[in-house]
Amino acid sequence: MRSLRLAFVLLAMLLPPIAAEAGPYEDGAAAYKRQDYANAYRLWRPLAARENSRAQFNLGVMCDKGLGLGQNDAEAAKWYRQAAENGVTQAQSNLGFMCANGKGVP
């Protein structure tokens, strides 16, 4: 049994590492970095709907700054609120700023 375990360890050391595949979040981040905001939004939107707080915050930023789909305070506040409820402190801060200035909220 010990020799079998040792063989697996040695085999693992000899094999090249397996490259991790990028997922939708990482693909969205790459699109955002190259300023392809419409594609970043398209990739992050389903993640945000499934409670991915990073995607929620990023959509809030995009809507707040008008990146890709145009500036929309109400939509930014919605995404910031969801991210804030999921514990993203920067989203809490941004939402607080929006509330204090009447941007996107009643």
pLDDT digits (tens, 9 = 90+) for 18-37: 444 579 999 999 999 999 99
Query: What does the alpha-carbon distance between residue 16 and residue 6 come to, in Å, rounded to a whole number?
Result: 18
User: Residues near 39 by Cβ (< 8 Å), separated by ≥ 6?
Assistant: 28, 31
25-100 CATH choice from 1.25.40.10, 1.10.1520.10, 3.40.50.1820, 3.40.630.30: 1.25.40.10
The 10 Å Cβ neighbour count of residue 35 is: 10
* Domain positions in the chain: 25-100
Provide the pLDDT for residue 5: 55
* Single pTM value for the model: 0.78
